[in-house]
Amino acid sequence: MTDGARVATRPGVPPREAATHCPYCALQCGMVLRDTGERVEVLPRQFPTNRGGLCQKGWTAAELLDHPERLTTPLLRDPTGGKLRPASWDEALDRVAAGIRTVQSGHGRDAVAVFGGGGLTNEKAYALGKFARVALRTRHIDYNGRWCMSSAAAAGIRAFGVDRGLPFPLADLGRAETLLLVGANPAETMPPLMRHLADQRRRGGRLIVVDPRATATARQADLHLQPLPGTDLAVANAVLHIALTEGWIDRDYVAARTEGFDAVRRTVAGYWPAEVERLSGVPVADLEATARALATAGSAIILTARGAEQHAKGVDTVTAFVNLALALGLPGRSGSGYGCLTGQGNGQGGREHGQKADQLPGYRRVDDPAAREHVARVWGVPADGLPGPGVPAYRLLESLGTSGGPRALLVFGSNPVVSAPRAARIERRLRGLDLLVVADFLLSETAALADVVLPVTQWAEEDGTLTNLEGRVLRRRALREPPPGVRTDLAILADLATRLDAPVRFPVDPRVVFEELRRASAGGPADYAGVSWERIEAADGVFWPCPDPDGPDTPRLFADSFPTPDGRARFHPVTHRPAAEEVCAAYPVHFTTGRVLAHYQSGTQTRRVAALRRAAPGAFVELHPDLAARLGVTEGDEVRVVSRRGELRAPARLSPAIRPDTVFAPFHFAGAARANSVTNDALDPVSGMPEFKICAVRVEKA
């Protein structure tokens, strides 16, 4: 089969095929879709990230295409009865445009906000940012990727001058002699990645996992460090302290390729391993073994993920591990490096082309005059008319409907009623808006609150590009046309822009949008100018930066220099500080959240797939048997987890995999089991990342 072609396999029979990618996580596993005329089948496909493998979510992804709850007509809230009713597209879009005009005429341009998603294609993310700044002329746009990668992105930019989750191909993991995973559980969050870890183990490599829980990934490790949530920064500084003491620093690399090491050296001198053991619970012997394994290996890779990043000190925590990697001379060295595991399907590309509050396409800064001039020329608008930077996602949502805050919100590809921290407050903010518009293909918990719901295409019904966790730009290929009554996000934005008298046109053809994106990104940190759909299809994707259509792409960064003004990476001294909310007599237990194998993000999609519901039918609260005994709780008892912000109720699951001072709940579920009713909305001052991973709670038998 020709890659990407739609092929009739038997005369007179309708089956067609399309080589595409899974709609879920940032691995973007390759797959083939086959439309038999009766159903859409998922078939394996060899691709570098998954090598023919898929997880249960990928195998069942096509079941949502014809789901009985699929939205196929716009919905409007009846002002008399308060219920959503079917409407025509003209009626729905007229209502949206009129609502926007009314709000902006009464309260200013910034009274309308836009909230995007990390699953949107590059074309849609780009168009959404352009729509906010050109058609709405609002500074208020951000997206749910702020809660996924923002801390690692900020740390990467200030250390390396660029944010690309993995600055090397995923296959490099399989060749690392030592691999340190910090706050990552790919065995459940992206199972096909474990094939690369299996390669590493077969070659005799050593796997070290840092996680407060003995997860499915941690159970496969040679060494599991199980720190108190929120103490990863101290652990990193202690490991660097040991490397300094033992003389394991790569001083030639530090001298030739970095700046600022002396300040870091002075800071980590105070992180005595015995003191960090008392603070974190990680034994000195394990800290020493980690330092030795990283420093003495011929090749070593350090990877961080949400467990390290989703804290009010997430940027500093990631920076501590970047400091460790730089001191050992790993970034840019063959087979070694530092990287971050991006979570959402287009979490990388989604943050590169204009959805973030402070960024323009190509990862340019909104407040950079040269960047504004360049992008404005591509868009055909005056640079001085572009709005300035907005505010990060949670601050945006928390300000909705308040004095001076936005009074209308357009949501594309996100479900903040379930995914936002302190979710009950965000739900109240959404309910109080003058206008809430949600574009989705299922009635999510957020869409159920909307004044207008717009039905959009699914992944198998649209063409476009995405950028996976390696910075590899990929092609999404449509298998079939969407159902009657369903439109693409691009078509919706174009129609609304026309109704709002936008000064420029908004293309609806994703290929045309991508060509414009290439021009807008040219010369920026995330330069796609040399990437074309044809070039992607001729290979297994194209790695950015790729400025020249006839020149090479960049699978590996930092081999010769870093994209900083002087070509050197930057150390930054960071110090441990307590969680924003510490345990006390009233709230004596730590609470943390995460994912389970069968579900994804807010669960809007996976909770509707029968096989996935059977695998994980509902939420649970994981607690250690010792804690359960003190509380009088047995397996399956319903428990309440109560914080200063709210509570969740779910059955107890007793497990020695978690620390006795900590409880865990997955964040995929809504209603009484909503984990984010409990989580803390304290924010990292640099990235705007909320402190999802730790807060103080009490646990009681319900």
pLDDT exceeds 80 at position 124: yes
CA distance 454 to 442: 10
- Number of helices and strands in the chain (H, E): 23, 28
CB-count exposure of residue 342 (10 Å: 0-12, 13-18, 19+): buried
Residue 668: pLDDT over 60:
yes
Q: Which two tokens stand for residue 283?
A: 């034994």
- Among 597, 552, 683, which Cα is nearest to 185's? 597
Q: Which of 181, 222, 167, 172 is nearest to 199 (CA)?
A: 172
Tokens 């709005």, located at residue: 387
**Half-sphere exposure (Cβ direction) of 252: Cα atoms closer than 13 Å:** 1
Measured in whole angstroms, the distance separating CA 311 from the mean position of its chain's CA atoms is 14
Q: What is the distance between the alpha carbons of residues 548 and 545, in angstroms, rounded to a whole number?
A: 9
Give the C-alpha separation, 161 to 338, whole Å. 14
Do 176 and 336 meet the contact criterion of CB atoms below 8 Å apart?
yes
**Alpha-carbon gap, residue 669 to 667, rounded angstroms:** 6
Q: Measured between alpha carbons, how far is 34 from 14 in angstroms, rounded to an integer?
A: 10
Count of residues in the chain = 702
- 8: pLDDT confidence band, cut at 50, 70 and 90? very low
Q: How confident is the model at residue 462 (pLDDT cuts 50, 70, 90)?
A: very high
Euclidean distance between CA atoms 575 and 134, whole angstroms: 42
Q: How far apart are CA 684 and CA 429, in angstroms?
A: 22
> How open is the CA angle 639-645-651, to the nearest 5 degrees?
15
The position carrying tokens 């990552």 is: 184
Taking the CA atoms of residue 522, residue 527, residue 532 and residue 536 in that order, the dihedral angle to the nearest 10 degrees is 180
Q: Give the chain's domains with CATH numbers.
A: 16-64 (2.20.25.90), 75-147+349-459+487-509 (3.40.50.740), 150-341 (3.40.228.10), 589-701 (2.40.40.20)
pTM over the 0.75 mark: yes
Could you tell me the two tokens for 228? 């108190």
* Cα 296 to Cα 206: distance, rounded to the nearest angstrom: 12
SS3 of residue 508 by DSSP: coil
For helices 150-160 and 314-327, angle between their N-to-C axes, nearest 10 degrees: 40
Look at the block and give the residue holding tokens 């005329």: 37
- In which band, very low, low, confident or very high, does the pLDDT at 80 lie, cut at 50, 70 and 90? confident
List, for residues 51-75, the tens digit of each pLDDT value: 999 999 999 999 999 999 999 999 9
Predicted confidence band of residue 598 (pLDDT cuts 50, 70, 90): very high
- pLDDT score recorded for residue 11: 40
Distance, in Å, from the CA atom of 694 to the CA atom of 582, rounded to the nearest integer, reads: 9
Statement: residue 269 has pLDDT above 50: yes
Q: What is the pLDDT of residue 6?
A: 34
* The pLDDT of residue 3 is above 70: no
What 3-state class would DSSP assign to 34?
strand
pLDDT at position 18 over 60: yes
